[in-house]
Amino acid sequence: MPVAMSGSKNTSVRLPAELSRELARRARAVKRGKNWVIKEALEQYLLGSANDRLREEFREQSIRVSRRENPDEKAWLDSVDAIPDWKP
């Protein structure tokens, strides 16, 4: 009888036939058990959701920062305006 890893729990999932075949195919392709593939997929899905929220927050902050007026850029643009016939 297999021994469960410390702190792990067993669960049962009913899968449609096509998904079950794909799971078996993927497990063979990576030379791992179906349990490992399921665990990896769940970790990516569940932890990926948290990372997606962080990525969105970083993106929003980046947009906010990029909209701030940069004094160096303003000085450069002001100096370019002073150059006759300058076309950026």
More confident residue, 86 or 29: 29
Q: Which amino acid is present at 30?
A: V
- Quick one: pLDDT band at residue 25, thresholds 50, 70, 90? very high
Q: Is residue 9 part of a domain?
A: no
Domain of residue 61 covers 17-81
Q: Is residue 51 part of a domain?
A: yes
Whether 31 shows a pLDDT value over 90: the answer reads yes
Q: Is residue 63 part of a domain?
A: yes
Q: Is residue 87 part of a domain?
A: no
List, for residues 59-81, the tens digit of each pLDDT value: 888 888 777 777 777 777 777 66
Query: The tokens of 3 are what?
Result: 């021994």
Whether 88 shows a pLDDT value over 60: the answer reads no
Q: Tell which residue, 43, 32, 34, 33, has the closest CA to residue 13.
A: 34
pLDDT for res 7: 83
Q: Is residue 77 part of a domain?
A: yes
